Amino acid sequence: MDVTPAIATIVAAFADDPVERWLYPEQADYLEHFPRFVEAFAGAGTVSAVEDFAAVAVWLPPGAEPDGDAIGAVYTETVDPAKHEDTFAVAGQMDDAHPRFAHWYLPWLAVRPERQGGGLGAALLRAGLARVDADGIPAYLETPNPRTIPLYERHGFAVTAVAQAGECPPVTCMLRTARTPAAGR
């Protein structure tokens, strides 16, 4: 699958995200650099999309990881050096909070702004969690946007940590315990 439309949806959906816009406050910088970050974070993932990429989810299966070297390079090369200490501190906290046991990882769930609120993201989340439940293992995510925490909580996720340093807005880490198809949601 060509991931270019998925990346475009993620970039559109995160355009007003607190952390991403702290990293790239200028619109031109955000549009130029954030796609590289998305790709580095989700390169080994499985992309699901609905409604001609109006909404996308990227799941990394157990054992797959984001490209840490590429993420670090994007930060180093594109984020204002004055923000590096806070940026890398938050990234380190996120790494420390990330489960070391088998799990599905959801680095990206995004809905184009003009389509938000219509249930597309929740539908993609339910579909992904059905796959997770079929495997009988937990699901994990981080959200940089406090508005999304209630959505994830409604789907069984609980806050496990908050990564925050200096001026960087917080990133909330969330885990959904393993479920079996018979146990349901």
**What confidence score (pLDDT) does residue 185 get?**
46
Cα–Cα distance for residue pair 104/11, rounded to 1 Å: 22
- pLDDT mean over 146-174: 97
The residue with greater pLDDT, 68 or 104, is: 104
List CB contacts of 10: < 8 A, sequence separation 6 or more.
Answer: 38, 56, 58, 108, 110
pLDDT, mean of residues 107-130: 95
Provide the pLDDT for residue 23: 96
Q: What is the average pLDDT across 45-57?
A: 92
Burial profile 142-167: b = 16 or more Cβ within 10 angstroms, e = fewer: bbbbeebeeebeebbbeeebebbbee
Number of Cβ atoms within 10 Å of the Cβ of 86:
18
Q: Is 96 exposed, middle or buried (0-12, 13-18, 19+ CB in 10 A)?
A: exposed
Query: Is the pLDDT confidence value at 54 over 50?
Result: yes
What average pLDDT does the segment 55-67 reach? 92
Mean pLDDT of 5-10: 94
Burial of 45 (0-12, 13-18, 19+ CB in 10 A): buried
pLDDT at 45: 81
Domain ranges, ordered by start, for the chain: 4-176
Tens digits of residue pLDDT in 119-145: 999 999 999 999 999 999 999 999 999
Please state, rounded to an integer, the average pLDDT across all residues of the chain: 93
pLDDT band at 181 (very low <50, low <70, confident <90, very high): low
Q: What is the pLDDT of residues 26-39, one digit of tens each?
A: 999 999 999 999 98
CATH number of 4-176: 3.40.630.30
